Structure 1
Amino acid sequence: MIVQYAPDSVVADPNFDAEGANAEFAEYAPDIAAASDPTEPGMHRTPSVDYGVVLDGEIWLELDDGAQTRLTRGDTIVQIAARHAWRNKSERPATVAFILTGVSR
């Protein structure tokens, strides 16, 4: 799947329709929406091996322990069922291509 992440400032804007965005997210990515932690927006864990490639922009990978890594165009990431979130601290969208392969626990 290819995901475009809006800048965090868009989500922080008081006019942002969080309810509408959550409904759209649940419609188009129900498995990931179900794996999301409602107490920590964006934080989720999927039962998969995730391979990602940043196609455009800049994105930050935040892990469960608070560690954050900045990724830019061409950077790749592989993670196995890790609890994480994606943060776009820039002022323009970031685009990431993902392949998720299910794993059994």
Structure 2
Amino acid sequence: MTQKFRRVVTGHDSNGVACVESDQYAEHILQRPNRPGVTLTNFWLSDSTPAEYDGDVETCKGPFILHPPTHGSAFRCVEFLPENPEVLAKLDGPSAFAEMGAGANIVEGARHPFMHRTDSLDYAVILSGEIYMLMDEEDVLLKAGDVVVQRGTNHAWSNKGTVPCVIAFVLIDGVTTTNAAPESSKGIPSR
């Protein structure tokens, strides 16, 4: 069963008094057959840095895109159910990422069908369960309480365990100052 997340958004009333402007379950959710067992839930999207903090109460509108907005950020959780290797071997990573506007981010010929490289700085906190972060040549087991600073590298998430893993992410639109993109990565724009 997919975890539901209560999202509380604060603001100010007409007298400038701090208040809760929205208190409801997050509704900007993506689940798809091309990536079974993975649910993404957006909480907040910002399209500028510095971020506007007194605008709309609802920023998660329109299609669900993997990337944060240009010059902005995305705050979300992703739930990864345990993987079934037989099902995983039959999945189409490029199609799954294309559904999120990120078809060019998939790493062709990688050791996992969802190996990808984003052009963002991502902060991740493992909230529950455990998961492997697969890199080009190494696997890192992450458990609840561990944090990751993902800096535009090739990676995939693989839940080889028996319980769901939930990860909180803050994705920040990024730029590169080097040409560190490996030949296996394609289409990653440098802004």
TM-score normalized by structure 2? 0.45
Is the 8 Å Cα contact of residues 97 and 105 (structure 2) preserved in structure 1? no
Residue 12 of structure 1: how far off its partner (Å)? 2.4
Q: Name the CA distance, whole Å, in 1 between partners of 2:144 and 2:77.
A: 14
Match in the other structure for 1:62: 134
- 1:40-55 alignment runs, 5 A limit: 40=110, 41-55=113-127
Write out the 4+ residue segments of structure 1 that deviate beyond 2 Å after TM superposition: 11-14, 16-19, 21-27, 37-40
- 1:70-81 alignment runs, 5 A limit: 70-81=141-152
Unaligned regions of 5+ residues in structure 2, if any?
1-75, 177-191
- 1:7-22 alignment runs, 5 A limit: 7-9=82-84, 12-13=86-87, 18=91
Q: Name the CA distance, whole Å, in 1 between partners of 2:138 and 2:175.
A: 26
Match in the other structure for 2:80: 5
TM-score normalized by structure 1? 0.77
Q: Name the CA distance, whole Å, in 1 between partners of 2:117 and 2:96.
A: 19
Give the secondary-structure state (helix, strand or coil) at the position aligned to 1:70. Answer: strand
Match in the other structure for 1:37: 107
In terms of fraction of residues, the more helix-rich structure is 1
Change (3 A) 1:99 1:24: same
Residue 36 of structure 1: how far off its partner (Å)? 1.5
Q: Name the CA distance, whole Å, in 1 between partners of 2:167 and 2:87.
A: 23
Residue 24 of structure 1: how far off its partner (Å)? 6.3
Q: Name the CA distance, whole Å, in 1 between partners of 2:80 and 2:108.
A: 19
Change (3 A) 1:12 1:71: same
Give the partner amino acid of 2:86.
A
How big is the alpha-carbon RMSD for the aligned residues of Structure 1 and Structure 2?
2.4
Match in the other structure for 2:172: 101
Overall identity of the aligned pairs, in %: 34
> 1:70-98: CA deviations, max 9, x gaps?
11111100021111111111022111111
Higher Cα Rg, which structure = 2
